[in-house]
A and B are shown apart, each in its own frame.
Chain A
């Protein structure tokens, strides 16, 4: 076993030490290196395969981040493979949304990003302006028509006059509520004309500490929660010219204050409780009957109806309550092709299929997301039971506000969770947190 000689220990410790302290310094490069090498090896192997015989099978990779959508996406990939037997699509699910962009940007830096991947508004301009995306103008010229999609989504994925993304879906935000808890507490169900005051009064009436029931889940998600209320209060996140932050405006502060009020008077769980549940998953407390209301986006609708309370038929949807004005954030994903893809033709054929009505119908029928392809939205609504009132997601369209973006959105948006969480945890007032956020955001915008 161990021979405790002086020399043994000296050399063993010195060697182990050298290795370990070096591994500290190389943790960074080691990570990138290893993931990069594998993918590079794979793609070069695949590249050889194509050059050997052009008609031979190629495999392209497709990255997504939402596990709720994985079955529908896999179905679409399988359908595509059936129609194009020479092209196989590997659908890869990132472990979580927050890791997706880290992983993708690292892969793109080393030239090994997937052939086709999901893109969103906040990241689009960064990727397009850095030459990471393949223009899809030819795909639109040959097999797609931009008039098949909402204009706002076509605009979202246009950069410098070129179309880089095929609109995949869009999402709007609504109020989800537990109708059983409303009935139990004798509170009237939300209507289309509800205002902030109505929500607040209902939340207080629904709260029952003895049963552990909260009226509202005052979540901490930008798109689903505070972006909507900032615009409802008449404020803005980013100025129209994209040069300055709106966080220091009194309206934006009012939009944040709206959520803090629920936490302060106990009609929402405090931030520690909410963050302890699962910070990456919305609708958990709504789904287990401990919260009566929560703002949710359309991509979570199917998952929330699949929770115990949803399956019992208690969860329903209503229009977002109005503040000074009505507003609901609209955002949509796009499918894009990597500029350094080794199989651009196959990748373009696949994004064209992803933009087709057939692919939109699969997404609509599985209730996952509202497809961007015009005319398939009704299929999505019809995929839900009539009584949950999924129509409200579409009814929000006239009052939707585009998701706030800039040339390098994540440079400031990434700081929101750290800075604004201090307001949710009541460590700072909304004024203080918003002032700090405006400062950080203006610095980031100035650096663009």
Chain B
């Protein structure tokens, strides 16, 4: 995922670079041809990887969604059977709501990331590197390790969180076992672990805003709050747009945290199971690859629709300098 984003950025940057000028017009076409040839050569390894591991499997997944699988492979075409099952599967409804709620929680983390990025970018702040490292650490930590530590924190009987609450006289719930709290508890981890990545993007966006604009605003008598509202946020809007899209896509794909924190025998599983969790259960645990593929297609369509909506709405609020 990250690699892909990086590839996307790199591709865009090459495109944006100025053409080397000052060459005779007649040789221009040949040079261009050679240049574009090199361009293709450079992206070939990535393109092949994308094709083999992403694009081809994406189409086979769509094909599989119309088929039924045996226990050890071998599939037969069953038309729309899997899709009919999808419509009547009660778990899908739960999973859809849970996935949307989880994504909503992740979105709530965006303002927090902007605020923290702004704090870290302050000129006078000492030990910037330390803060950056600390906030970024969860991004590069293995999800299994994160889950292990958070399970200890959330443990209803011996957990640090409930111990802290007991000091102020509150009896904490079983965070991961209680249907009312489980999704929220996992959402908090999701926000916490994506904070560092979003902060890096926002910090880069903040540094790209020219300082002169703030000087002008100060001369005009704008307070810090006004500067933030009328200058920082609008100028940061392209980054916010970008991060929002990433966050929604990540939210739709949440699986590892649910798998590691909850598990099948969890009494709150109805309230935390997500679409990808169901996809795993049906596709890999029950080895019903055909139905698993249908869920994958559903996730794909949802992601596409949500992103298309965002692209059409962005004209109203995103400011490009």
- Seen from chain A, the residues whose Cβ lies within 8 Å of a Cβ on chain B are 1-9, 11-13, 15-17, 19-30, 33-34, 98, 102, 105-106, 108-110, 126, 130, 132, 220, 271-273, 275-276, 279, 408, 411, 414, 417-418, 421-422, 424-425, 427
User: Which residues of A are found within 8 Å of B304, using beta-carbon distances?
Assistant: 21
User: Which residues of B are found within 8 Å of A1, using beta-carbon distances?
Assistant: 204, 207-208
B174: contacting residue among A2, A34, A276, A279, CB under 8 A: A276
10 tightest A-B CB contacts, nearest first:
A15-B8, A19-B4, A29-B57, A272-B177, A6-B320, A425-B267, A272-B174, A26-B57, A417-B265, A25-B300
Q: Please, could you name 7 A-B residue pairs with CB atoms under 8 Å apart, sorted by A?
A: A12-B12, A25-B57, A25-B296, A28-B289, A29-B60, A220-B265, A276-B151
| Complex interface bits, B256-295 against A, C-beta within 8 A gives 1, otherwise 0 | 0000000111110100000010010001111101001100
- In the complex, the answer to whether B267 meets A275 with C-beta atoms within 8 Å is yes
User: Which residues of A are found within 8 Å of B12, using beta-carbon distances?
Assistant: 8, 11-12, 15
Interface stretch of the complex, out of B23-31, B107-115, B221-229, B234-242: B234-242
- Seen from chain B, the residues whose Cβ lies within 8 Å of a Cβ on chain A are 1, 4-5, 7-9, 11-13, 15-16, 50, 53-55, 57-58, 60-62, 70-73, 151, 155-157, 174, 176-178, 204-205, 207-208, 235, 238-239, 241-242, 245-246, 249-250, 252-253, 255, 263-267, 269, 276, 279, 283-287, 289, 292-293, 296-297, 299-300, 303-304, 307, 318, 320-321
A2: contacting residue among B58, B205, B296, CB under 8 A: B205
- In the complex, the answer to whether B320 meets A25 with C-beta atoms within 8 Å is no
User: Which residues of A are found within 8 Å of B58, using beta-carbon distances?
Assistant: 22, 25-26
How many angstroms between the C-alpha atoms of A24 and B252 in the bound complex?
Answer: 8
- In the complex, the answer to whether A15 meets B303 with C-beta atoms within 8 Å is no
B157: contacting residue among A16, A29, A30, A273, CB under 8 A: A273
How many angstroms between the C-alpha atoms of A17 and B8 in the bound complex?
Answer: 9
Number of A-B contacts (CB under 8 A): 189
Given known pairs A2-B205, A2-B208, the reply for A23 and B4 (CB within 8 Å) is yes
- In the complex, the answer to whether B4 meets A16 with C-beta atoms within 8 Å is yes
Chain A residues touching B, majority SS: helix
CB-nearest residue of chain A to B62: A25
User: Which residues of B are found within 8 Å of A13, using beta-carbon distances?
Assistant: 241-242, 245
How many angstroms between the C-alpha atoms of A65 and B60 in the bound complex?
Answer: 32
- In the complex, the answer to whether A25 meets B299 with C-beta atoms within 8 Å is yes
How many angstroms between the C-alpha atoms of A24 and B286 in the bound complex?
Answer: 20
B71: contacting residue among A22, A126, A272, A418, CB under 8 A: A126
A9: contacting residue among B238, B292, B303, CB under 8 A: B238
- In the complex, the answer to whether A24 meets B242 with C-beta atoms within 8 Å is no
How many angstroms between the C-alpha atoms of A382 and B73 in the bound complex?
Answer: 46
Given known pairs A28-B283, A28-B293, the reply for A20 and B176 (CB within 8 Å) is no
Given known pairs A3-B16, A13-B242, the reply for A105 and B72 (CB within 8 Å) is yes
- In the complex, the answer to whether B296 meets A27 with C-beta atoms within 8 Å is yes
Q: In the complex, how many angstroms separate the beta carbon of A25 from the nearest chain B beta carbon?
A: 4
Which has the most chain B C-beta neighbours within 10 Å: A6, A8, A17, A102?
A17
User: Which residues of B are found within 8 Å of A26, using beta-carbon distances?
Assistant: 53-54, 57-58, 61, 296
